Chains A and B, each alone.
Chain A
Amino acid sequence: MSFISLEFAVFLALGALVFQLARGPWRRLVLLLLSYAFYLTWNPRQAVLLLGITVAVYYTAKSMEKTASARGRLGFIALAVAGLLLVLVFFKCAGLFARYFPGRAGGNVLADVVAPIGLSYYLFKLMGYLLDVYWEKIPVQRSFVSMALYPAFFPQILSGPIQRAGDFFTQLEKIGNPLPDDIVTGLRRILFGLFKKVVVADHLSAMVDAVHANPAGYSPLELLFGGYCFAFQIYADFSGVTDIAIGIGLLFGIKGPENFNMPFFARNIQEFWRRWHMSLTSWLTDYLFMPLRFSLRGLGAVGLSIAIFVTMLAVGIWHGPRITYAVFGALNGFYMVVSALTLKKRNDYFQKRPLLARLRVFAGPLLTFHLMVVALILFRANSLPSAWVYLTHIIPGFQSAGISTFRFDRALLHTRQVALLLAGLSYAAMESVNWASRQNVWAARFSSAPWFVRWTAYYVVILIIACSAQETRTFIYAQF
C-alpha cells in the first residue's frame, strides 16, 4: 500500500486512533504490529526476511556485548557487517547476475529474485546500530519489541529517512501520546509533502521522461531545460516523501531526522552534500568515510582524496548496481575531492578580493547547481551511452542536423504552458514555505494566525493537490 492511496489514509487514521488508546509499553507493541501490517501489504515473504535479519542482529549485539576479548568483538562485528552487506549485494545484484549468465545453473532462479521493499534503508539502520554498539556509543537494546520496531518502523521503511538507532531508541523509551502541537505539525508536513509530490514533481515528470527517452531529438535549450526539470523533480519528489514520512512519524510520537535543507542554495559541492539526502550522507560519513579517512591518515592529501572518492562512489552505488549510478557517484567524488583540496585556497583568494567575493555569493550556488544538474542527468539517464548523447547534445554545435540551438517546442516536451506555469509557481511556493518554516518568526506568525486564515491556507493547498492530481506515480526513492 502506497503512502498516496485511500487504503493508506484509512490505515493511518485507524492506526493513530489505536495508538492514542494504547498505554505504556503497549504503544511500542501497537507501533510494531502496525509496521508489520503495513509491510505485509507489500509482500509477506519479505516480512519474514526482515524479521529473520532483525532476530540475527538482536542476538549478534547481545553476544558481542558478552564477548570479553577485543579480537572476539572485532570478529563479531566484521562477520555481522559482512553478512548484512552480502544480503544487500545478493538481492540488489541477483538480476544483474542472471542477465550476464543466462542459462547457467541458478541463473533462472536468480532472475526471479526481487529486492525486498526498503532493503537498503533497513539494512543501513541495522548496520549502524551494530557499529554504534561495537564503538560503545550506545548500549545494547534489550527489548526485542524496540529492536524489531527500529528497522520496520513503517513511516521510514519505504524511502527513509535513515534514523540513527540511538536517536530512535531514546525517543521510543519515553514515547507517549503525541502532543497536539506535534499532531498539527505532522499533518502539515504530510500535506506539504503531498503538495511537493503531486503538484510539483509529477507535473515535471512527463517532460523529463520525454527528453531522456530520445536525447538526440532535442535542441540544447530543451535538453538544458529537461536537466533543470529533473533536478527540481527529484528534489520535490524525494523531499516530499521525506516530509510525509516525518509527518506520519510525528503522529506516533517519533521525530525522524531531516533529509533536505534547501540544497540548491548550497555555496559549494561539499555544502550541497551536507544539505541533500542528509540522513544517507551523514550515515556514510560516520560509518565509512571517518574510519577510512582515519586509517589512511598517514597518506595525507592522498588518503583524504581516496576516502572522499570511495564514500561518494558508495553514495552512487547505494542506489543500485547500475553503471549510471556508479558514474554519478564517481563524478561527485571528483567534484568533492577538487572542492575539498582547494577550498582553503579559494577562501584565501576571495578574502583578498572583496568585489569578487560579492560576486561569489551568487556565482557559488549557481555553479554548484549546474554541477549537480550534470550529475543528475547521469543519474536519470536510461543508460551510459544515452547519458553521453544527452551531455554532448546539450552543447550547441553537437545537436542533430535541423534542430536549432534555441528551439523550444512545448508540444514535443509534452508540456502545456499552463502546466509549466503551475509547476514553476508551485516550486517557488514550495521553496518559500521551506524557507519560511526555517525562520522562527514566520513559523510562529502562521501558528498564531486566526483559525480561518490557517484553514483557508490548508483548504487552498488541498484544493490545488486535488485539482492537479493526475495518475500518481510512485516515489522515485521507493525503489532503492
Chain B
Amino acid sequence: MTEAEIKQKLTAIFRSVFDNDSIEISEATTAKDIEGWDSLTHVNLIVAVEKGFKISFTTKEVMALQTAGDLMRLIASRCN
C-alpha cells in the first residue's frame, strides 16, 4: 500500500469512529485536535484500524503512538 492509500483509508476510519465527516488527518494530528478522541475512544480507533487493515498490534506498539503520523508509519510497516 502506498502512503496516500494508507492515509485515505485511515481518514475514513477516523471519520467513522469519531462520527464526523469533516475530519482531516495529518502527520502531526494528535488527540487534542479531534473532538471525542480520548482514552475511551482511542482503543475503539485502534480496533477499527486493526480490522480495517487486517493487522494486529502489540500493547507496546500502541502505547508508543503519539501522533496520527506514528500510526500511519506503524500501519505501513505492517502492510508492506
Contact = CB atoms under 8 A, between A and B. Distances in A.
A136 B39 CA distance: 19
Q: Contact residue range for chain A?
A: 10 to 19
Question: What 9 pairs across the A-B complex have the smallest Cβ distances?
Answer: A135-B63, A135-B64, A285-B39, A293-B43, A291-B59, A297-B47, A136-B64, A294-B59, A294-B62
A295 B64 contact: no
Given A135-B64, A137-B66, A297-B47, A289 B39 contact: yes
A295 B39 contact: no
A478 interface: no
Interface in B39-79: 39-40, 42-43, 46-47, 59-60, 62-64, 66
Secondary structure call for the A interface = helix
Nearest to B50: A297
Contacts of A145: none
A304 B66 contact: no
A168 interface: no
Interface residues of B, number: 12
A196 B4 CA distance: 54
A290 interface: yes
Contacts of B60: 134-135
A290 B40 contact: no
Interface of B: 39-40, 42-43, 46-47, 59-60, 62-64, 66
A340 interface: yes
Given A135-B64, A289-B39, 13 more contacts: A134-B60, A135-B63, A286-B39, A290-B42, A291-B59, A291-B63, A294-B59, A294-B62, A294-B63, A297-B43, A297-B46, A297-B47, A340-B40
A137 B47 CA distance: 22
Interface string A240-273: 0000000000000000000000000000001000
28 contacts: A131-B63, A134-B60, A135-B60, A135-B63, A136-B64, A137-B63, A137-B66, A270-B40, A285-B39, A286-B39, A286-B63, A289-B39, A290-B42, A290-B43, A290-B62, A290-B63, A291-B63, A293-B39, A293-B43, A294-B43, A294-B46, A294-B62, A295-B59, A297-B43, A297-B46, A297-B47, A304-B40, A304-B43
